[in-house]
Amino acid sequence: MKRWNLILALLLITSMLLSACGKPTPTATPAPATEEATTAPATEEKVTVTIAAGAVGQELELAKAAAQRYMDKHPNVTVKVLDTPDLVQDRLGLYLQFFQAKSSEVDIYQIDVIWPGDLAEHFVDLYQYPGAKELAAQNFPAIIKNNTVDGKLIGIPWFTDAGLLYYRTDLLKKYGYDAPPKTWDELHDMAKKIQDGERAAGNQDFWGYVWQGNAYEGLTCDALEWIDSNGGGTIVSPDKKITINNKYAAEALDMAAGWVGTISPEGVLGFAEEDARNMWQAGNAAFMRNWPYAYSLGNADDSAVKGKFDVVPLPAGRAGHGAATLGGWQLAVSKYSKHPDVAADVALFLASPEEQKIRAIQGSLNPTVMSLYQDPDVLKAVPFFGSLYDVFTNAVARPSTATAPKYNDVSTLFFKAVHSVLSGDTDAQTAMEELELDLQDLLGYESATPE
Amino acid sequence: MDKKLGITDLAKREERLAYTLLIPTFLILLIIAFYPLGSVFYSSLTNREFASAEPVKFIGLQNYSDLLSITIKELPPKLDDAGQPVIDEKTGEQVYERSIKILPREPRRYREVSQFSLLGKRYVIGATDRDFVRAIWDTLLFTVISVLLETLLGLGVALIVNTNFTGRGAMRAVMLVPWAIPTAVSSRMWQWMFGSTRTGLFNVIGQALGLSNGQTPFLTESAWQLPAMVAIDVWKTTPFMALLLLAGLQLIPSDLYEAADVDGAGKVRQFFSLTLPLLKPTLAVALIFRTLDALRVFDLFQIVLAQKRYSMASFTYYQLINNREMGYSSASSVVIFIMIFVFAIMYIRMLGGVEAE
């Protein structure tokens, strides 16, 4: 009997332990991290607006400074900046909790480029507020189009991103190339030659080309670039036709599958942005596909490739032009906000050319306003922005608007199919055939060939 | 039964009092256990979307049949235009029809999970949600292998630290270190050790031993994924197992061993005839804990494998957060709940049997 008491006590203690440390509960709504509400209630018109903003790198600092500038101009408004998780998926989880509760706690949300379609029902149409039309016209049309759902402007672009090809200028010169690759075939040949040469010279960890091959949203971006640059369309076309099952798409995926283990490490199938960057920045890769953020980090003092690389648009396939997947963040005003008009004004202020210019110079965040790519002050601070202009005008958007609110399912099906092709589990044709059927079941759209 | 004749008023009053005093407990249970469970069960019967104003429709058991429908079909040999079976030139083996042509599409589409050969025929297993079916299989496999290894290793460790030697106290404390590290941290640590290049410890070791070229992608190659998961889990929870078993070992009176020594039983005989039977109740409790825990493994899979391969719990997470399918993910939660429940009942039966002995 005594024995059993002991065991029971043990049971109890361990179960408490288990529930305490075994299972991390999802974080509930976090307390606003910054700028406590003003203690003295001022005049009655005093309005508080809260922004849920990113905190990657300098983002939070820049957002707070911008909020302060707004408050200086509008003394009756308090702008609070709420710190949100770094990982996109975690941030979405937090936002969804606010929406589920129809919470007015947050007025302005910083939303990812793939969310406007999915989350449109929670945001106001910014076109109904003064100044929005004019500001939208100054932005890249592709980004505005991505933010437009049923004619409504869901978010105002804040900063943007697009896939780029990083290449080692010193190695290209060493192996007798005078220009970066224009096509995927050229890239393959150059990568192979440099890789063989560098390995023979003693660096057995050297690889030709690194990119993002893990089964996650990043692979959707990479694969979309291969397929679109090969004339294989954009998975689902803007007019809601499923276009993925075509021979150019399959050809592009076969091409990429052929890189794995030859010019790219087998582990690339587990790579995200930072894995690729770490390898590249250690000097162990000739080419890398990544977002613009890797540029300033690659030129930091602790980087082995400092001053030895440059960026160009991604190579072209059969389509004759390269494609860069569009990334970036927008500001959207919550429908559940108590002061949508003030919130919209704050959002438009933060996304204005003046503010974007400050962010570009201080944080090297890519503006969405076209004219800033020719702005001498910006180009002086971040010279490579000039060459990005063409990349953004040719950027390809993920089919998030056409597939809303099912984009995440579509993307998951897509990257899982691509991943199975890359890892050799299925061939590209079968995978795309199955994906087409999956997408038909999911979306109910018809199939078509890409234009 | 209660309504025996001659029951006194006092007893009745006491009974009433007992029920009155139990009411708060029942209320709390109702609020914190039955209500959430009930609402999960209810939403598993709907097409509810997470954080959306879309109208919610009651769809009965649709989610469950989407999750769990499985079919097995025979794959006919592929015939060429002349009606002759096609033979692969490289391998010399029979080529079969592609499963996508054989598996039913209406009313619901089945996707290939795997193929197997039996008695000279080729079969394909199809499922409406192959990710979940794979997740169930992977989770069960993970549970059985990891719990088995943990029990064996934990027993070994417990037997060692139960003997007398200098530094035993320190050893017992050191033994607990892996268990004390939060799973999120240890998963990351192991993720780096399993790194796909020579930045990863195992690749360095493998290359030094001449086993690999230093580029083995442990976490992306499907053959390596589950062994890696099991390795991490065994490393982390063996101490827990050892701790539980150590407590059980200490309950065995030492005079039993002295008597066995006098009777001339060897160490091995002592272990199987004394230690093991007396340890059985503790072992059963430890097994319950580990099995139920392993069945709902989440953090390890979510952190290390993310969407490359799911456990049942991480599948549920991605359905809810990424795809916002609240109804569907509720259904998969209920499936997990039922499976754990079945295991729990099985173990409690076992435990009950032990108690009766």
Could you report the per-residue pLDDT of B89-104, keeping only the tens digit for each? 777 777 888 888 888 8
**B57 and A CB contact within 8 Å:** no
- CA-nearest residue to A18 within chain B is B293
Judge if A176 and A189 occupy the same domain: yes
Number of residues in chain A = 451
Nearest-angstrom CA–CA distance, B56 and B41: 14
> Tell me, what's the pLDDT at B114?
87
Q: Quick check: A23 and B214 CB within 8 A?
A: no
A425 CB neighbours in chain B (<8 A) are: 222
A406 CB neighbours in chain B (<8 A) are: 323
Task: Choose among A194, A123, A177, A200: nearest CA to A154.
Answer: A123
User: What domains does chain B contain, in order, with CATH numbers?
Assistant: 71-127 (no CATH), 131-356 (1.10.3720.10)
Give me the phi and psi of A77, to 5 degrees please: -115, 135
> Tell me, what's the pLDDT at A29?
41
pLDDT tens digit sequence for A29-63: 444 433 333 333 344 578 999 999 987 767 888 99
The one-letter amino acid code at A439 reads L
The percent of residues above 90 in pLDDT, for chain A, comes to 63
Judge if A77 and A135 occupy the same domain: yes
**Does the structure show a pLDDT above 80 at A186?**
yes
Judge if A321 and A375 occupy the same domain: no
Q: Quick check: B298 and A23 CB within 8 A?
A: yes
**B126 and A CB contact within 8 Å:** no
Q: Which residues of chain B have pLDDT under 70?
A: 1-7, 352-357
Q: Which residue has the tokens 């359905």?
A: B319
Which of B49, B190, B196 best probes binding to A when mutated, by most A CB atoms within 10 angstroms? B196
Judge if A142 and A243 occupy the same domain: no
> Tell me, what's the pLDDT at B121?
86
**Does the structure show a pLDDT above 60 at A349?**
yes
Which of A87, A89, A263, A277 best probes binding to B when mutated, by most B CB atoms within 10 angstroms? A89
Range of weakest confidence among A26-30, A386-390, B260-264: A26-30
Judge if A283 and A386 occupy the same domain: no
The one-letter amino acid code at B180 reads A
Task: Choose among B174, B213, B215, B169: nearest CA to B195.
Answer: B215
Q: Which residues contact B190 (CB under 8 A, 6 or more apart)?
A: B228, B231, B232, B235, B304
- CA-nearest residue to A115 within chain B is B322
B88 CB neighbours in chain A (<8 A) are: none
Note whether A85 and A61 are within 8 A (CB).
no
**Mean per-residue pLDDT, A430-446:** 93
> Tell me, what's the pLDDT at A259?
97
> Tell me, what's the pLDDT at B6?
59
Note whether A144 and A428 are within 8 A (CB).
no
Q: What is the 3-state secondary structure (H, E, C) of chain B?
A: CCCCCCCCHHHHHHHHHHHHHHHHHHHHHHHHHHHHHHHHHHHCCECCECCCCCCCCECCCHHHHHHHCEEEEEECECECCCCCECECCCCCCECECCHHHHCCCCCCCCEEEEEEEECCEEEEEEECCHHHHHHHHHHHHHHHHHHHHHHHHHHHHHHHHHCCCCCHHHHHHHHCHHHHCCHHHHHHHHHHHCCCCCCCHHHHHHHHCCCCCCCCCCCCCHHHHHHHHHHHHHHHHHHHHHHHHHHHHHCCCHHHHHHHHHHCCCHHHHHHHHHHHHHHHHHHHHHHHHHHHHHCCCHHHHHHCCCCCCCHHHHHHHHHHCCCEHHHHHHHHHHHHHHHHHHHHHHHHHHHHHHHC
B105 CB neighbours in chain A (<8 A) are: 437
**Mean per-residue pLDDT, A119-129:** 94
Enumerate residues 283 to 342 of chain B having a beta carbon within 8 A of any beta carbon in chain A.
285, 289, 293, 298-299, 306-308, 318, 321-325
Residue A261 domain-assigned (yes or no): yes
Tokens of A114: 């793939």
Of the two residues B354 and A433, the one the predictor is more confident about is A433
- CA-nearest residue to A420 within chain B is B308
Q: Quick check: B217 and A269 CB within 8 A?
A: yes
CA A387 to chain centre: 20
Residue A224 domain-assigned (yes or no): yes
B53 CB neighbours in chain A (<8 A) are: 121
> Tell me, what's the pLDDT at B356?
45
Note whether A285 and A211 are within 8 A (CB).
no
Q: Quick check: B322 and A412 CB within 8 A?
A: yes
Q: Quick check: A423 and B222 CB within 8 A?
A: yes
Would the pTM count as exceeding 0.90?
A: no
> Tell me, what's the pLDDT at A21?
41
Nearest-angstrom CA–CA distance, A211 and B252: 59
B357 CB neighbours in chain A (<8 A) are: none
Q: Quick check: A409 and B183 CB within 8 A?
A: no
Residue A52: give the domain boundaries.
48-154+328-393
Judge if A320 and A366 occupy the same domain: no
pLDDT tens digit sequence for A58-96: 788 899 999 999 999 999 999 999 988 877 777 888 899
The percent of residues above 70 in pLDDT, for chain A, comes to 90
Residue A14 domain-assigned (yes or no): no
Task: Choose among A152, A174, A201: nearest CA to A333.
Answer: A152
Residue A37 domain-assigned (yes or no): no
Judge if A61 and A148 occupy the same domain: yes
**Mean per-residue pLDDT, A20-33:** 40
Q: Quick check: A14 and B289 CB within 8 A?
A: yes
> Tell me, what's the pLDDT at A17?
43
Interface A-B: count of C-beta contacts within 8 A: 118
Which of B322, B329, B355, B357 best probes binding to A when mutated, by most A CB atoms within 10 angstroms? B322
The shortest C-alpha distance from A27 to chain B (Å) reads 13
Domain containing residue A227: CATH number: 3.40.190.10
Judge if A88 and A68 occupy the same domain: yes
Residue A205 domain-assigned (yes or no): yes
Give me the phi and psi of A225, to 5 degrees please: -65, -45
Judge if A268 and A307 occupy the same domain: yes
Note whether A250 and A237 are within 8 A (CB).
no
The shortest C-alpha distance from A297 to chain B (Å) reads 20
Judge if A303 and A216 occupy the same domain: yes
Q: Which residue has the tokens 């569907």?
A: B328
Note whether A97 and A29 are within 8 A (CB).
yes
pLDDT tens digit sequence for B112-145: 888 888 888 889 999 999 999 999 999 999 999 9
Q: Quick check: B184 and A23 CB within 8 A?
A: no
Residue A28 domain-assigned (yes or no): no
Tokens of A150: 């049923």
Q: Quick check: B214 and A216 CB within 8 A?
A: no
Give me the phi and psi of B171, to 5 degrees please: -60, -40
Judge if A376 and A312 occupy the same domain: no
Note whether A159 and A173 are within 8 A (CB).
no
Q: Give the domain-ending residue among A371, A393, A415.
A: A393
**Does the structure show a pLDDT above 70 at A320?**
yes
Compute, in degrees rounded to 10, the torsion defined by CA atoms B129, B131, B137, B143. Answer: -130
**B170 and A CB contact within 8 Å:** no
Of the two residues A368 and A34, the one the predictor is more confident about is A368
**B282 and A CB contact within 8 Å:** yes
> Tell me, what's the pLDDT at A44?
52
Note whether A196 and A260 are within 8 A (CB).
no
Looking at the 3D structure of chain A, how many domains does it have? 2
Compute, in degrees rounded to 10, the torsion defined by CA atoms B104, B105, B106, B107. Answer: 100
Note whether B237 and B145 are within 8 A (CB).
no
pLDDT tens digit sequence for B225-256: 999 999 999 999 999 999 999 999 999 998 99
**Does the structure show a pLDDT above 60 at A354?**
yes
The mean pLDDT value of chain B amounts to 89
**Does the structure show a pLDDT above 80 at A24?**
no
A89 CB neighbours in chain B (<8 A) are: 321-322
Residue A34 domain-assigned (yes or no): no
Task: Choose among B48, B71, B70: nearest CA to B58.
Answer: B48
The shortest C-alpha distance from B248 to chain A (Å) reads 8
Judge if A235 and A268 occupy the same domain: yes
